Each structure stands twice: as structure tokens, then as C-alpha cells.
């Protein structure tokens, strides 16, 4: 006979409700400390803090997926990575909360923040940088920014030297019998260099979705993650265009020029280059036929 589910009931700390104790709401709502009198600064701080929380959530999910891939648990790894795709939706939506800002709004806030703390950007925050390293975009030059935070410098240096998510994916494909060299043979600190044999492996996976159903699911999930990541960077660029224009922003560099190259930092590169050769195109392109018929 099935027994009824019994839940043990804890003791709520004095002065708390179970919800406030669990979610730490009393602490959470003390963490927004405006430095200006602008009525929108609280929205700015909250939006950025939410982004920080989602970046850390994504880091934890990637770490979990790496462990699952190393254990050859492709089903759970895909489930975990699909949560990363879902996390990018609210993360990217945070830009809507501050889309009302004009240059006058933002600069009146940042002038006070720079006066009190100095100039910086979220792209040089340690949480964002660790996520980027885990996605396989290894750029050692950014470590110098964290010299004043020795513990964070070491954390990032360790992450830089470890396999990225993509390294673990390729190692899994190698163990699955696909013709990919062992990924532990390359320097994990160095920027990833696309390889034709990796593109060929993805082409083989996409050419036979029945045989490689789980691997195709993995590939499409990685593509979704890369797209969500790139969407955030595009929204950041557009917000910079709206609130800074072409004036100097980050460390004296013109903001748009500083951000534009980051749009080319696309994780899992062979998953994108292989798209040009997957599938059978028409023998003659209809568009080309119309041009030749003129």
C-alpha cells in the first residue's frame, strides 16, 4: 500500500517567514544602492544585478553539463544545456527594463558612479568573463583587469586553463567514435582554432539524424546557446548606440568600436560553418536561373 508523502517541517528563523528566509529577501533588497538622484538608477542597478545572477546560473549549468558529458550521460547533458537556452530568454529581456534611457539619462547616472568607483563595464566583470571562458572564447589578455582581485584572478586563470564546454563536447564525440582528435592534446588557454575534421564530424552527424539523434540534439542546443549569447551582445551594442553614440566609453575607447569585434566571438564555430554544406541544394539555384534568363 502506498504511504502518504510526509514532509518534515523546518523552523523559520525569528523575524522571518519561510519564503523570506529561503530567498533571502531582506538581504536582496539592501543590495541596490544608487549613487545619483536620477529616478531610473534603481532600474539600471536592478537590471545589471539580474544579469549577474543569470550569468552565474549559466556558469553552474555549464559546469553540470561538463560533468555529465564526461560521464557520457548525453541525455542529462542535453537537458541541462536546454536550461541554459531557457535562461537566455529572461537574461536578454533585461534590456527592455532600461530601453527608455537616453544619453542624458545614462550619463547623469554614470558620472556619479565613475566619480565614486571609477570606470568599468559588465564585459570586464568576473562573472561574465568566466562564462565566456566556459563557452570556449579564451582571451588571456582580459586577466590583467582582475589584478586587484587576486581570488577572482585565480578563479578565472583556472577556468582559462581548463577544458571549455566545447572541449568536453568534442571529447564526447571522439569517444562516440567520430573522427575527432583527442581534445586534451591542445593548449586550453589558447583561443580555439576551428578544424576541418571537427566540421566533418558535425556534417556526418547532421547527414544521418536517425543514427545520431542525440548528437544532433546536442548540436542544435549548442547553436541555441550561441544564438542567445550573441543576441545579448547585439542588444548591448544597440543600447550603447542609443545611450553613448560614438563618444568615448570603455577605458577611453569609443564604445561602439570596442563592442563591434565582440559580435564575431561566436562559440562552437564549426557548428556554424558546417551549415554551408549540410543538406542537398537544388541542382540549379532558381534565383540564378532567373538572372541567366534575362
Enumerate the β-bridge partners of residue 250.
Answer: 253
Q: Which long-range contacts (CB under 8 A, 24 or more apart) does 119-128 make?
A: 119/250, 119/251, 121/249, 121/250, 122/48, 122/51, 122/52, 123/236, 123/250, 123/259, 123/262, 125/52, 126/152, 126/155, 126/156, 127/52, 127/55, 127/56, 127/59, 128/55
Rounded Cα–Cα distance for residues 23 and 148 (Å): 31
pLDDT-derived band at 263, boundaries 50, 70, 90: confident
Enumerate the β-bridge partners of residue 248.
Answer: 254
Within-domain flag for 245: yes
Q: What is the DSSP letter of 276?
A: G
3-state SS track over 20-48: HHHHCHHHHCCCCCCCCCCCCHHHHHHHH
- Residue 172 belongs to domain spanning: 42-105+121-278
Within-domain flag for 116: no
CATH number for the domain spanning 48: value is: 1.20.58.480
Within-domain flag for 7: no
Within-domain flag for 166: yes
Tell me how many degrees the CA angle 45-51-56 measures, rounded to the nearest 5. 130
pLDDT-derived band at 252, boundaries 50, 70, 90: low
196 contacts 265 by C-beta, under 8 angstroms:
no
Nearest to 226 by CA among 108, 98, 134: 134
131 contacts 59 by C-beta, under 8 angstroms:
yes
pLDDT for 50-94, tens place per residue? 999 999 999 999 999 999 999 999 999 999 999 999 999 999 999
Within-domain flag for 241: yes
Q: How many CA atoms lie within 13 A of 129 on its CB side?
A: 23
Helices vs strands, H then E, count in the chain: 13, 2
Q: Coil, helix or strand for 239?
A: helix
Within-domain flag for 167: yes
Q: Say which residue, 8 or 194, is predicted with more confidence.
A: 194
pLDDT for 2-42, tens place per residue? 666 666 677 888 888 999 999 999 999 999 999 999 999 99
Within-domain flag for 219: yes
Would you state the pLDDT for residue 5? 63
Would you state the pLDDT for residue 247? 78
Average pLDDT rounded to a whole number, residues 112-123:
78
Average pLDDT rounded to a whole number, residues 142-170:
95
Q: Say which residue, 114 or 269, is predicted with more confidence.
A: 269
Q: In the numeric block, which cell numbers belong to residue 72?
A: 557520457
pLDDT for 205-217, tens place per residue? 999 989 999 999 9
Q: How many domains does the chain have?
A: 1
Rounded Cα–Cα distance for residues 174 and 218 (Å): 14
Within-domain flag for 115: no
Amino acid at each position: 500500500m502506498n504511504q502518504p508523502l510526509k514532509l518534515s517541517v523546518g523552523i523559520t528563523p525569528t523575524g522571518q517567514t519561510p519564503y523570506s528566509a529561503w530567498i533571502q529577501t531582506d538581504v536582496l533588497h539592501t543590495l541596490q544602492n544608487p549613487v545619483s538622484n536620477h529616478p531610473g538608477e534603481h532600474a539600471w542597478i536592478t537590471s545589471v544585478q539580474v544579469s549577474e545572477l543569470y550569468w552565474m546560473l549559466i556558469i553552474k549549468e555549464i559546469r553540470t553539463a561538463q560533468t555529465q558529458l564526461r560521464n557520457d550521460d548525453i541525455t542529462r547533458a542535453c537537458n541541462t544545456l536546454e536550461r541554459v537556452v531557457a535562461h537566455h530568454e529572461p537574461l536578454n529581456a533585461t534590456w527592455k527594463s532600461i530601453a527608455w534611457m537616453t544619453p542624458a539619462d545614462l550619463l547623469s547616472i554614470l558620472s556619479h558612479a565613475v566619480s565614486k568607483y571609477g570606470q568599468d563595464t559588465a564585459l570586464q566583470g568576473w562573472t561574465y568573463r568566466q562564462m565566456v571562458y566556459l563557452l570556449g572564447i579564451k582571451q588571456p589578455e582580459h586577466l590583467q583587469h582582475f589584478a586587484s582581485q587576486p581570488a577572482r584572478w585565480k578563479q578565472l586563470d583556472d577556468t582559462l586553463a581548463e577544458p571549455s564546454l566545447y572541449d568536453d563536447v568534442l571529447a564526447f564525440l571522439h569517444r562516440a567514435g567520430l573522427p575527432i582528435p583527442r581534445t586534451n592534446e591542445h593548449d586550453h588557454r589558447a583561443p580555439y582554432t576551428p578544424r576541418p575534421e571537427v566540421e566533418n564530424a558535425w556534417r556526418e552527424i547532421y547527414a544521418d539524424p536517425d543514427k545520431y539523434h542525440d548528437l544532433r540534439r546536442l548540436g542544435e542546443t549548442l547553436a541555441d546557446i550561441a544564438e542567445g549569447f550573441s543576441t545579448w551582445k547585439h542588444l548591448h551594442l544597440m543600447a550603447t548606440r542609443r545611450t553613448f553614440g560614438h563618444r568615448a566609453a570603455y577605458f577611453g575607447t569609443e564604445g561602439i568600436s570596442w563592442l563591434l569585434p565582440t559580435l564575431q566571438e561566436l562559440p562552437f564555430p564549426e557548428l556554424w560553418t558546417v551549415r554551408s554544406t549540410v543538406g542537398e541544394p537544388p541542382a540549379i539555384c532558381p534565383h540564378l536561373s532567373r538572372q541567366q534568363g534575362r
